Amino acid sequence: MRRFAHLFLLLAAALLPTFFSVQAPADSLSVTPIPVKLGKNSPTDAITLRNNGQMPVVIQVDLQSWTQREGEDIYEPSRDLLVNPPIFTLPPGQSQIVRLGLHRPVDPQRELAYRLYLQEVPPPPQPGFTGLQIALRLGIPVFAAPAAPYNKALKWHAVRTRGGDVRVALDNVGNAHVHVFEIKLSQPADSERILYTHQAHAYVLAGQFHSWTLQPKSGPWTGSRVQISALTDRGVVNAELPLERE
């Protein structure tokens, strides 16, 4: 579903989930749809930006390829997509359509991932201004489906640390991303009694992994198995795992 994006300020970054659009309170800029999904049979798409504020904003568009290594995001400049217009002024109360198109063949086996950054170009400061100007930056996920059918296989692992916490790792062995919003832990014998809930909010790209260290509120984990229930963009994923020792 198209419902999430990352909201970045120039000096700090924060991940803000939302349905159908992302909105920046400071500048009242909304974007739909999110994420953008392209493919062999749908090589073009478009997003709509609306300025709900009272001042015009100048927006510059920048495309970055998106990969991951050892759980960390890696961004590099890319020309894999055509973007029109690349820079524009958005008057207050008006909308702007930004069109995207694949400028390369889709990958035969694996989904491709990008971030489309919408960077506000701040106006020159007024004479005598001595404050700090903060420019809005939105990072919109863009995914290009592979030529091969989607394989959405996931593998979970769980380890009990020496301190009694539980480290949960997700290995995305499929060929498409998964967006994890929330992870819940429970004992397999009593899956209705949730011992820990973690707001994950992490993308795991195809062929990559991500881990979370969870601290159950009831104290050190006991037992040799754990029940995981994860809320994702694919729905709820459940898995019962052996709890390995660190």
| Tens digit of each residue's pLDDT (9 = 90 or more) over 194-206 | 778 889 889 999 9
Q: Output the pLDDT for position 198.
A: 87
pLDDT digits (tens, 9 = 90+) for 153-178: 999 999 988 877 889 999 999 999 99
Are the CB atoms for 67 and 203 separated by under 8 Å? no
Q: Output the pLDDT for position 70.
A: 86
Q: Judge whether residue 24 has pLDDT over 70.
A: no
Q: Judge whether residue 108 has pLDDT over 90.
A: yes
What distance in Å separates the CA atoms of residue 167 and residue 195, rounded to the nearest whole number? 14
pTM for the full model?
0.82
Domains of the chain in sequence order = 4-144 (2.60.40.10), 154-245 (2.60.40.3970)
If you compute the radius of gyration of the chain from its CA atoms, what whole number of angstroms results? 21
Q: Judge whether residue 133 has pLDDT over 70.
A: no
What distance in Å separates the CA atoms of residue 36 and residue 21, rounded to the nearest whole number? 12
Q: What is the mean pLDDT of residues 7-26?
A: 35
Q: Output the pLDDT for position 97.
A: 97
Q: Judge whether residue 18 has pLDDT over 90.
A: no
Helix (H) or strand (E) holding 42: none
* Bridge partner residues of 89 (DSSP): 58
Cα Dmax for the chain: 68
